Amino acid sequence: MPFSFALPTTSSANLSDFFTSSTHPSLPLLATTKRSVFKDALKKHKRISPRDQPAHLPAVQDAANAYIPYLLALNTASAYRDVGLEEVSVEIVKPLEVEWRTTISATIPGREAPRPKVTGLHHELAFTLSSLAYTYSLLARSQLRSLYASNVLSPEQRTAAISSAMKHLLDAHSIHSFLLSLPSVSAAKDGPPDVQASTITALAALAMAEATLVVVSKDDPYASAVADDRNENNRDWMYKAPTIPKVRAHLYARICLAAAEHAGQAHGLLARSATGKIDEDLIKYANDLRRTARGKAIRFLAINAELSGSTGEALAWLNGAKRELGLSSGSGEDGKRKGLRGLKQSWQERREDKRVEKGGEWGLDAGRLEESRIVEMLDAKWDRENSTVNVQLVPDFEPLLSQMPSGREYHTPQPWSPPVLDASSLMQMRAPPEPAQKAFEGEEDDSGSEGGYGGLSPEPVGAFPGTAADYGRSATSSSYY
């Protein structure tokens, strides 16, 4: 369900050309080496196939965590502050200039995202920490994918996957919040839209919305029942009926409403901050996440009404959830969808199931189709019961929606503790580097137009094969996605 972020890539940079230290001469050299390893990890992640990318995420995470202490040390010492308990002197020879490929900025369809040159250590910090936050979101995606794939999970495995995904999303939120706490990053106006303060604020709100919505997934029996029902490998229906325990529906509804508020804040910031400059898929995802959270909240309020015996009111709540999720209101007594709109939705759901199995770009609707299945299942079940057993009138849902409760926060955000250099590492950097010692500059190619997975170089549309270099960096490519 978390958004499928694309990790940015960056150019090579010898930090010794931009920084010098009289107290710790080896600091710029070692920082260059760590940065080169991080750069290689990002470029390798981009070149491998989408199916293998989730397994490579821990390598990107380790490379980022190894580079961040040196980057923070340079940033702190260049501002004439002590690194930990040790005084470190760093002088800026010239402003740092590197290229970072933007990944959430709007681009021309079919063309690879640009790699603009950014100036300043604060932009290097923003892109590096944002890459780590994206990595945590992608790790959460890999955990949650197991809930919707064809493999059958035990309750313990399901709980472990949800708990791990929740932790990763909270880490992503903490990193975005840490970025906003840096004055040089929050006050910068010259950077790309990816590292603008409004965009980082929106991404922090989006991660919190996703982490809040994951809370109810652990104890939501209806979501697991629908997932098991469409799972071809599940054989539990042969010998036992699905058990639906009672849930704290009203509490879950308020938690979902809190998630909807965070998603609405993210959507508003992304849509207003840089019109035409943020990827439309990300803006649409934030809006779909808000609708999914509100639809889930209304569904829990319907469950709360049904548990109290008000089946007619519960059906009215479900009608409100249908409108929030964009479902067709017309359905027959058998619960089957009618018309072209229902056919289109069924086709979209089948295509989404194939994406989940292949591990590709699934979940771009923020779980809206999955929630629609749950609402339709409950609507068909309760409508049959209301038509045969206890007949109750179904009121209008507009007055009910106006009486929805306020949201309730579940998580208490914790500040992020970045990795720092210990005293022994700082002491070793007091020794000057050997005259012949050079920093590791990486093994990956530093071309501005990287090929996709498989090492294929992009060819411009209509160009003769093998002449891509003649077109410079304006060559179009869809390999980035």
Does the pLDDT at position 241 exceed 50? no
More confident residue, 455 or 380: 380
Confidence of residue 130 (pLDDT cuts 50, 70, 90): very high
Instruction: Examine the domain organization and report whether 459 and 368 are in the same domain.
Output: no
Instruction: Examine the domain organization and report whether 299 and 208 are in the same domain.
Output: yes
Mean pLDDT score, 133-156? 81
Confidence of residue 164 (pLDDT cuts 50, 70, 90): very high
Confidence of residue 245 (pLDDT cuts 50, 70, 90): low
Q: How many domains does the chain have?
A: 2
Domain membership of residue 8 (yes or no) is no
Q: Identify the DSSP state of 259.
A: H
Domain membership of residue 286 (yes or no) is yes
**By the 8 A CB rule, do 139 and 57 touch?**
yes
More confident residue, 262 or 229: 262
Looking at residue 359, its pLDDT comes to: 56
- How many percent of the chain have pLDDT more than 70? 76
Q: Quickly list DSSP for 421-476.
A: --HHHHHHTTSPPPTT------SS---SS---TTSPPP--TTPPTT-GGGGGGG--
Q: pLDDT per residue over 367-413, tens digit each?
A: 888 888 889 888 988 898 888 877 888 889 999 999 899 989 999 98
Domain membership of residue 170 (yes or no) is yes
Instruction: Examine the domain organization and report whether 201 and 325 are in the same domain.
Output: yes
Looking at residue 131, its pLDDT comes to: 96
> Of 401, 418, 443, which marks where a domain is finished?
401
Does the pLDDT at position 125 exceed 90? yes
Instruction: Examine the domain organization and report whether 235 and 126 are in the same domain.
Output: yes
**By the 8 A CB rule, do 457 and 476 touch?**
no
Instruction: Examine the domain organization and report whether 222 and 298 are in the same domain.
Output: yes
Q: pLDDT per residue over 176-226, tens digit each?
A: 999 999 988 888 888 888 999 999 999 999 999 999 999 888 778 777 676
Tokens of 372: 């629609």
Tokens of 346: 């069924």
Domain membership of residue 213 (yes or no) is yes
Domain membership of residue 221 (yes or no) is yes
Mean pLDDT score, 439-453? 62
Residue 468 structural domain: 455-481
Looking at residue 373, its pLDDT comes to: 84
Instruction: Examine the domain organization and report whether 351 and 463 are in the same domain.
Output: no
pTM of structure: 0.84
Domain membership of residue 42 (yes or no) is no
Instruction: Examine the domain organization and report whether 206 and 312 are in the same domain.
Output: yes
The Cα 151–Cα 16 span in angstroms is 51
Looking at residue 105, its pLDDT comes to: 87
> Of 386, 401, 416, which marks where a domain is finished?
401
**By the 8 A CB rule, do 74 and 19 touch?**
yes
Instruction: Examine the domain organization and report whether 351 and 236 are in the same domain.
Output: yes
Instruction: Examine the domain organization and report whether 204 and 328 are in the same domain.
Output: yes
Does the pLDDT at position 425 exceed 80? yes
CATH of the domain at 129: 1.25.40.280
Instruction: Examine the domain organization and report whether 186 and 262 are in the same domain.
Output: yes
The Cα 250–Cα 146 span in angstroms is 28
Instruction: Examine the domain organization and report whether 396 and 466 are in the same domain.
Output: no
Cα–Cα distances (Å) from 100 to 95, 184, 253, in that order, read: 16, 18, 41
Neighbours of 412 (CB within 10 A): 6
Q: pLDDT per residue over 293-308, tens digit each?
A: 999 999 999 999 988 8
Instruction: Examine the domain organization and report whether 396 and 472 are in the same domain.
Output: no
Average pLDDT of the chain?
81
Looking at residue 380, its pLDDT comes to: 87
> Of 355, 374, 401, which marks where a domain is finished?
401
Q: pLDDT per residue over 80-92, tens digit each?
A: 787 877 888 889 9
Domain membership of residue 432 (yes or no) is no
Domain membership of residue 383 (yes or no) is yes
